[in-house]
Structure 1
Amino acid sequence: MKRFCLFAACACLLVDMSYAQRKVEVVETPQNSQAATSEKVIKRKVAIGRFSNETQYAKGIFYDKENDPMGKQALDILSAKLAASGKFLLLERSDLSTLLEEAQKGENGLSTIGADYMIIGSITEFGRKNTGKSGVFTTTKTQTVEAAVAIRLVDVSTGLIIYSDEAKGSADLTTKTTMGVGGRADFDATLSDKAISEAIGQLVENIINKCTDKPWRTYFLSYDADAVLIAGGKSQGIAEGDVFSIKSKGKKVKNPQTGLMIELPGKKVGTVKVISTGGDTPETEYSFVEVSTTTTIDTAKLSEYYIEESK
């Protein structure tokens, strides 16, 4: 009987030790992925103007705001998630003050930012803590990282914030030892990535929806006997044979409550058909188009027209 009890105790200890030595993985909350669709998508140009660290974490005497590693880490995570959706061309624009100034400039409704939308983000909360629990034979230690991220999405053509939200994410790593034997875990820097990634992941779907709710829009670059050109090309998904609507800009009225000018919906005056595309970069791409024969355009007032996809 004594031998049996001793054998059972040893077996339990070995099972516990085996559990303690297993690799502990952080499981992130799965994010909603974009369903595959055959519908043609014209990619929006999105500029990420700033992603800053507004917390006090890792801010010592030699802290450099322009080279904050956590801010750059968040920017890279956001860029990767947006690029993975296949709906955006990402343009990095680091000088925020210049961006906000340029958002109010430009001709034909186009700012010199060269983007349809601009994202401004910040890490608003960040913390790391270690907790533990000790028993007679076992000891458990847990590292936990929590982060909060705030995002603002600006419509460059109007300068208005069309989406603003904050989300929180967390990640933890647990190790367990039995009678001094088992897994050990030192400082794990990857938990920071996972916590920030989880927070950003909760916001990405809303960013995608807000950017794609509004029909894609572009403008005439040139209109003469030699050729008619519009902005945008191959990298955005524009291809030979695509047909878009030509609309005259709607009347602008002032909202007495906010003092802001609101542009009313435009009137369709014709269509254009893409003949070919050109340009070397997303910022310089263009398309040659053919205007429908029933369309009448006042070439002296090209800024009064825009080209829009049909929804």
Structure 2
Amino acid sequence: MRGCVRTSLMAALAVLTLVGCASKPTVEDRSPAQAAPPAAVEWKGPKLKVAVADFEDKTAFGRGRLGAGASDLFTTRLVQSGAFLVVERAKLKTVLDEQALGQSGALSDEEAAQAGRLLGVSLLLIGGVADFGVKTESSSYVVAATRKQTARAVVTIRAVDSTTAEVAFAATGEGQAVTASEKAMGFGQDAGFDETIAGRALSDAVDRLMQDLVERLKTFGWSAKVAGVDKGLVIINAGAKSGLVIGTALAVHHAPRHINDPETGDPIYIPGEKKGKIEVVSFVGEDASACKALEGEDFKPADVVRLSDP
């Protein structure tokens, strides 16, 4: 009799131990190879001025919510990197609406370049959530059951050069997040669909995308435009906010010209020749500079300004 009582007590203790262990879900925010948000990068020279279009949600999940979330995350990461001057998306939307661009859906590269030129940015970044899915795995034992959900998100980006309308580069980020729960002898928590894993998977994908993107952008040359000439000074659309400093020497080039491909009709851009050299002497407005001419003359609006060789 005592043996039976002892056995029952041990069995009850074992069940309680299982219940205690199963009462809380286990959550893993990211995949084992965790991607950390990019730290501020060491950036030489002025910041690249970019604009971010609303991400296209190509998935069936969330009725477009993933696209909006990815746009917000991506813009935040760009600012955090310290390498970019990001134009507000509201300004981009105003330009798109006023110029009736992207009316048929996603922006074409030519439309993106046109919007980029009107905003005065070097690159217009067009992204999308290419894929999203959740896999659920369940395991049952004699006195316990486990359930695990794994979310996977794929985010893409292409960077359109506003001067040439060419895709300067493209990048892809794939992210993952996991959540799990245990249930023993009817106790514990069931793992219904956990919407937070969608956000974590998306964040992981954007972080991985940024790691690739920042490295690619390091090889992309900075540029600005001549806005006009006032009282002998050349005004350009970049200033202290963009990271310029007084005394910076800049080369001025003719705006690129283009001819059309006879077979496809697509424009072929030909870089403009160098026409002179200027130097930043003061800052004006929100983000512009006044420059004196060191070499050349007849500088005109839309001339392209680049960092000058020493």
Q: Which residue of 1 aligns with 2:307?
A: 308
1:261 aligns with 2:268: yes
Provide the rounded CA distance (Å) in 1 between the counterparts of 2:40 and 2:129: 31
Q: Which residue of 2 aligns with 1:51?
A: 55
**Structure 2 counterparts to residues 61-76 of structure 1, below 5 A:** 68-76=64-72
Match of 1:182 among 185, 188, 194: 188
Tell me: CA distance 1:53–1:252, structure 2 relative to 1, closer, same or farther (3 Å): closer
Tell me: CA distance 1:257–1:205, structure 2 relative to 1, closer, same or farther (3 Å): farther
**Structure 2 counterparts to residues 223-242 of structure 1, below 5 A:** 223-239=229-245, 241-242=246-247
Q: CA RMSD in A?
A: 3.5
Secondary structure of residue in 1 paired with 2:241: helix
Give unmatched runs, 5+ long, in structure 2: none
Provide the rounded CA distance (Å) in 2 between the counterparts of 1:202 and 1:231: 32
Q: Which residue of 1 aligns with 2:144?
A: 138
Q: Which residue of 2 aligns with 1:65?
A: none
1:26 aligns with 2:28: yes
The alpha-carbon deviation at position 176 of structure 1 amounts to: 0.8
The alpha-carbon deviation at position 14 of structure 1 amounts to: 4.8
Equivalent AA in structure 2 for residue 147 of structure 1: A
The alpha-carbon deviation at position 304 of structure 1 amounts to: 5.0
Provide the rounded CA distance (Å) in 1 between the counterparts of 2:157 and 2:56: 11
- Answer whether contact 2:22 2:183 (CA < 8 A) is retained: yes
The alpha-carbon deviation at position 160 of structure 1 amounts to: 0.7
Q: Which residue of 1 aligns with 2:296?
A: 296
Aligned residues: 291
Q: Which residue of 2 aligns with 1:214?
A: 220
**Structure 2 counterparts to residues 75-94 of structure 1, below 5 A:** 75-91=71-87, 92=89, 93-94=92-93
Equivalent AA in structure 2 for residue 81 of structure 1: R
Equivalent AA in structure 2 for residue 261 of structure 1: I
Give unmatched runs, 5+ long, in structure 1: 60-67
Tell me: CA distance 1:303–1:233, structure 2 relative to 1, closer, same or farther (3 Å): closer
- Answer whether contact 1:102 1:111 (CA < 8 A) is retained: no
1:7-44 deviation line (CA, Å, top 9, x unaligned) = 76566545443432345222324326556566554221
The alpha-carbon deviation at position 70 of structure 1 amounts to: 2.0
Provide the rounded CA distance (Å) in 2 between the counterparts of 1:58 and 1:229: 47
- Answer whether contact 1:117 1:211 (CA < 8 A) is retained: no
1:151-190 deviation line (CA, Å, top 9, x unaligned) = 2211111111122243332222110122223344443211
Tell me: CA distance 1:47–1:39, structure 2 relative to 1, closer, same or farther (3 Å): closer
TM-score, normalised by the number of residues in structure 1 = 0.77
Provide the rounded CA distance (Å) in 1 between the counterparts of 2:167 and 2:66: 25
Equivalent AA in structure 2 for residue 308 of structure 1: L
- Answer whether contact 1:144 1:171 (CA < 8 A) is retained: yes
1:51-100 deviation line (CA, Å, top 9, x unaligned) = 111122345xxxxxxxx322111111111121211111223234452765
Secondary structure of residue in 1 paired with 2:297: coil
Match of 2:248 among 232, 243, 252: 243
- Answer whether contact 1:249 1:266 (CA < 8 A) is retained: yes
Provide the rounded CA distance (Å) in 2 between the counterparts of 1:85 and 1:159: 25
Equivalent AA in structure 2 for residue 19 of structure 1: C
Equivalent AA in structure 2 for residue 244 of structure 1: A
Tell me: CA distance 1:302–1:165, structure 2 relative to 1, closer, same or farther (3 Å): closer
Secondary structure of residue in 1 paired with 2:205: helix
Alignment identity in percent? Answer: 25
Tell me: CA distance 1:178–1:248, structure 2 relative to 1, closer, same or farther (3 Å): same
Provide the rounded CA distance (Å) in 1 between the counterparts of 2:41 and 2:145: 50
Secondary structure of residue in 1 paired with 2:250: strand
Equivalent AA in structure 2 for residue 188 of structure 1: D
TM-score, normalised by the number of residues in structure 2 = 0.77
- Answer whether contact 1:103 1:157 (CA < 8 A) is retained: no
